[in-house]
Structure 1
Amino acid sequence: MTQFLHADRLFPAAEPARSIARDLYPAVKDLPLVSPHGHTDPSWFANNQRFADPAALFLTPDHYVLRMLRSRGLSYDDLGVPRKDGKPVADPRTAWRLFAANYHLFAGTPSRLWVDHSLQFAFGIDTQLSSATADAIYDQIAARLGDPDLLPRAILDRANVEVIATTEFALDPLTHHQSMLGQGLIGRVRTTYRPDDVTDPSRAAIVQNLQKLGELTGEDTANWAGLINAHRQRRQTFRRFGAVATDHGVPTAMTADLPLVEKQALLDKVLAGKHDAAEAELFRAQMLTEMALLSVEDGMVMQIHAGSRRNTDPLTFGERGPDMGADIPGPTDYVGGLRALLGRCGNEPNLRIIMFVLDETNYARELAPMAGYWPSLLVGPPWWFHDSPQGIRRYLDQVLETAGFYNLAGFNDDTRALLSIPARHDVWRREVCGFLAHWVGEHRLSKSSALEIARHLSYQAAKDAYKIA
């Protein structure tokens, strides 16, 4: 292991906590990885073909990396990020050289940990990425991308991934999952139902999308009951391809419980294109409650990712589409937001909601107390900007004393970068061990209890949260 991958990385600096963390970590280091929420490309697993080049593996799909480079004035064209208009961008080696020349920008960021870990884990690279090493590392990666042990399914095996979930929109044909079903891969690889394309009226194609949903299901989606039946059918279809969860990427956690006549009037406005921003928010709010009611029926776990103001750079969005790093956190009200939903079905024994937030002030004020009361609620792990060593420390410090260890949903990596999965889980496991080590050192926990909790938070908690047998 090299200095930037020190065996004691992320462990407490002082004794006795460091030694205790060292003792705890072997119990979790090699546990299988459960990745119940993420955005890896299902074609990787269905087709099991080699990755194109080092930049396609480490640079162009990773918005964490891209946003940092852009913040220092680097062009997405020069970084090789494809454009909608098909105009040329830098070739992979040129883009890689630019990435390497600016790798110092990632000092102190989780991206640095993830990339360093991935280079060592997959390719045995133990030299620092820089201008001086860029070509040699590029060639070393490129020479091995066709090796059998670096094909996507083999990477899952090497990383000991037991379960991985992809995320697809309601209208997705699930072509790759159909292929995986025939290959016997569904179960290890699962889809997730994300209906934002048909529940968010702020999307330009919402009318056409609702019509397509009706065509897919044979339901009249201009009628409220037909719309809900269409969702019911699509959820059943997704479940055939392993789905155990739904996912809702919403600007706020607002929910509603309107009378049927008002729900139909709201749908009529959306279909006529006559809704305003407040009515779009109300439609999303009502649909969150409807999705919870459907979860009561079918048992699917509901994930709410609230509080991201997405695609805030209209120029980049127009040139290259979403997920280019321009998403910014916003404040989130979960107590007021979920009031209508919880009032309607929060005490239903079959309902489980995992709450994710980017507003860290929410952890101790709302999420921990809510999960510490409602049996239907769990606190999701640190998400996006806070999936980091310091973010994990702040999270554990703020939620545990109110929610306890067993109202947490464990860890999920929420990534688009396949090789970062073992790296991210390793960061979580090291931070959990470090956190528990302090408590053992303070005699707040016995070492045997800390071992049990570390195993739970590193593996079993995610399986329990997502009802994965």
Structure 2
Amino acid sequence: MSAADVAVPSARSLRNGPQSDALLPADERLHGLARELYAEVAAAPIISPHGHVDPGLLLENRPFRDPAELFITRDHYVTRMLHAAGVDLGEIGLDPASDVDPRRTWRSLAEHWHRFAGTASGYWFEFELASLFGIHDELSPASADQIYDRIATAIQTPEFRPRALFESFRLEVLATTDDPLDELSAHAALGADRTFHGRVLPTFRPDAYVDPDGADFAERLERLLGMTGQPTSFSGYLGALQERRAHFIARGAVSADHGVLEPLTVDLDPSAADALFARAIRGELDTDGARLFRGHMLFQMARMSVEDGLVMTIHPGVRRNHHGPTWRRFGPDTGHDIPVATEFTENLRPLLEAFGTARDFHLVLFSVDETAYSREIAPLAGFYPSVYIGAPWWFLDAPDAMLRWRAAVTETAGFYRSSGFIDDTRAFLSIPARHDTARRRDAAFLAGLVGEGRVTMPTAQRIMRDLVDRIPREVFKL
């Protein structure tokens, strides 16, 4: 098959998706309203203020290796479903020590493709096949090799290099998630490259440096203090973190992200904090002490955001690496992070008492506990000027959950206390699919309000435009 036989992506095809009416209401009247609303933003640029794409992908601009790496091995949404079906993760390329034929991995997905029916992963995958590669055939054991070959041929062409796709996706802003000690050389190089058009921004992610239960906490702390030349004291530790935040800001960062099990915040007096830190560096904290330390550090991170202006995003409520044997064999982010119930109102009260009304402080709260949105997060955002409602995240960034989320938060806090859509993805090709999904579901939700006479059509059109542009720009200070 020649490159000429493969569909080349365009801005128009990327926005149409596999079906132009997908995810819009079935009701004829509402369907027409939703189509009109969706048209307001179908071709709008994408602002992605939080995600996990490696900036080196765009800096190096190398061809993607193979379809399996592109669609399967780096996407834990996909690998977790295959594992649940009995597929060994080592047999689909997650074990770096083993050499697995990517075609074999692809065939494994095809064999189990029927299991993805009705899932967000299945919808995104089909959207990508249709919009990027012009492939409308359903994946199956019979079609697997033909589809694999079409993709493998396409990704060797210039149109499918990462930078070309970045432009085809109409990506205007892409934020990455980065270790505090990262020198951010890739971001600096991209920023200085006049041939690259777009903003790739780092995000400060300090989790491993503020959790004394982490396996390598002591080593990370030593490297942090060594890099910054700060003394081994609590004030030196805070100074080191502030110095690294300043480094990120100088490289264009607009936010600091915190992935915590619980959003506990604790305001300790200086002497208590000093004593807790001393025990932490000696490895002497028990479970309660480690929890107290994390809570105080989340409070300190908020204080720093008030001072330096970084937007503070909190992604709580996930038990990371739930299955120890899988984590030990394959490492993190391999599909076994599981949600837990999350409480916000009392956990965040010390932080909000101190900073909730601070000028220009932005706190974006995410959850994978759906009950928290209507019970706590929307009411908090409906009072505190600093609090914004994070978009449906992780297990909730799915079509039906998106509608439930809008219904849960809008009556209490409206549209303008939300963050705009956040794709939060490592899978580069899924970015337009995820944003398009959110746009279609927002159009469906707004069409319902228009149909019920609760919102006028001009107001709904303005909201649609603001949801993909003005709102994320304001929330993330872009």
Verify same fold: TM over 0.5: yes
Task: Normalising by structure 2, report the TM-score.
Answer: 0.95
For 1:136 and 1:447, the matched residues in 2 are separated by: 45
Alignment: residue pair count: 463
For 2:466 and 2:178, the matched residues in 1 are separated by: 28
Residue 97 of structure 1 and its aligned partner are, at CA, apart by 0.7
Closer, same or farther: CA 415–141 of 1 in aligned 2, 3 Å:
same
1:266 alignment counterpart: 276
1:200 alignment counterpart: 211
| 1:6 counterpart = 2:19 | yes
Closer, same or farther: CA 74–141 of 1 in aligned 2, 3 Å:
same
What secondary structure does 1:23 align onto? helix
Which residue among 216, 223, 227 is the counterpart of 2:227? 216
What secondary structure does 2:469 align onto? helix
Matches within 5 A, 1:134-145: 134-145=144-155
Q: 1:192 is aligned with what amino acid?
A: T
| 1:190 counterpart = 2:201 | yes
For 1:426 and 1:238, the matched residues in 2 are separated by: 30
For 1:15 and 1:329, the matched residues in 2 are separated by: 37
For 2:142 and 2:20, the matched residues in 1 are separated by: 26
Cα displacement string for residues 226-252 of structure 1 (whole angstroms, at most 9, x for unaligned residues): 111111110111112211000000000
Matches within 5 A, 1:256-405: 256-405=266-415
What secondary structure does 2:412 align onto? helix
Which residue among 111, 133, 153 is the counterpart of 1:101? 111
Contact 2:63 2:161 (C-alpha < 8 Å) held by counterparts: yes
Task: Normalising by structure 1, report the TM-score.
Answer: 0.96
Residue 183 of structure 1 and its aligned partner are, at CA, apart by 2.0
Contact 2:179 2:205 (C-alpha < 8 Å) held by counterparts: yes
Cα displacement string for residues 378-397 of structure 1 (whole angstroms, at most 9, x for unaligned residues): 00000000000011011000
Contact 1:214 1:230 (C-alpha < 8 Å) held by counterparts: yes
Question: Which has the higher mean CA deviation after the structures are superposed, 140-149 or 53-62?
Answer: 140-149
For 2:137 and 2:434, the matched residues in 1 are separated by: 20
Q: 1:413 is aligned with what amino acid?
A: D
Gaps of 5+ in 1: none
For 1:288 and 1:416, the matched residues in 2 are separated by: 25
Residue 123 of structure 1 and its aligned partner are, at CA, apart by 1.4
Q: 1:232 is aligned with what amino acid?
A: Q
For 1:155 and 1:463, the matched residues in 2 are separated by: 23
For 2:72 and 2:369, the matched residues in 1 are separated by: 27
Cα displacement string for residues 177-209 of structure 1 (whole angstroms, at most 9, x for unaligned residues): 233243255961011000012011111110111
Question: Which has the higher mean CA deviation after the structures are superposed, 369-378 or 22-31?
Answer: 22-31
In percent, how many aligned pairs have the same letter? 43
Q: 1:379 is aligned with what amino acid?
A: I
What secondary structure does 1:336 align onto? coil
For 1:169 and 1:350, the matched residues in 2 are separated by: 25
Cα displacement string for residues 286-327 of structure 1 (whole angstroms, at most 9, x for unaligned residues): 111111111111111000001011100101100111001101
For 1:200 and 1:182, the matched residues in 2 are separated by: 35
What secondary structure does 2:63 align onto? coil
Residue 417 of structure 1 and its aligned partner are, at CA, apart by 0.4
For 1:199 and 1:72, the matched residues in 2 are separated by: 36
1:49 alignment counterpart: 62
Q: Segments of 4+ in structure 1 off by > 6 A? A: none
1:244 alignment counterpart: 254
2:7 alignment counterpart: none
| 1:71 counterpart = 2:84 | yes
For 1:256 and 1:51, the matched residues in 2 are separated by: 45
1:60 alignment counterpart: 73
For 2:308 and 2:191, the matched residues in 1 are separated by: 21
For 1:354 and 1:420, the matched residues in 2 are separated by: 23
2:8 alignment counterpart: none
Cα displacement string for residues 145-198 of structure 1 (whole angstroms, at most 9, x for unaligned residues): 121111111111001000000000212232322332432559610110000120
What secondary structure does 1:146 align onto? coil
What secondary structure does 1:203 align onto? coil
2:171 alignment counterpart: 161
Gaps of 5+ in 2: 1-12
Cα displacement string for residues 395-443 of structure 1 (whole angstroms, at most 9, x for unaligned residues): 0000000011110001110000001000000000000000000110000
For 1:438 and 1:14, the matched residues in 2 are separated by: 10
For 1:115 and 1:241, the matched residues in 2 are separated by: 33
2:468 alignment counterpart: 458
Contact 1:187 1:242 (C-alpha < 8 Å) held by counterparts: no
Contact 1:311 1:327 (C-alpha < 8 Å) held by counterparts: yes
For 1:263 and 1:180, the matched residues in 2 are separated by: 40
For 1:322 and 1:460, the matched residues in 2 are separated by: 35
Cα displacement string for residues 256-307 of structure 1 (whole angstroms, at most 9, x for unaligned residues): 1000011111111110001112211111111111111111111110000010
What secondary structure does 1:254 align onto? coil
Cα displacement string for residues 124-158 of structure 1 (whole angstroms, at most 9, x for unaligned residues): 21211111111111111111212111111111100
Cα displacement string for residues 358-395 of structure 1 (whole angstroms, at most 9, x for unaligned residues): 11000111000000000010000000000000110110
1:16 alignment counterpart: 29
For 1:439 and 1:305, the matched residues in 2 are separated by: 30
For 1:271 and 1:386, the matched residues in 2 are separated by: 37
What secondary structure does 1:78 align onto? helix
Residue 15 of structure 1 and its aligned partner are, at CA, apart by 2.9
What secondary structure does 1:324 align onto? coil
Q: 2:203 is aligned with what amino acid?
A: T
Residue 89 of structure 1 and its aligned partner are, at CA, apart by 4.4
For 1:33 and 1:233, the matched residues in 2 are separated by: 31
What secondary structure does 2:52 align onto? coil
Contact 1:256 1:341 (C-alpha < 8 Å) held by counterparts: yes
For 2:119 and 2:69, the matched residues in 1 are separated by: 21
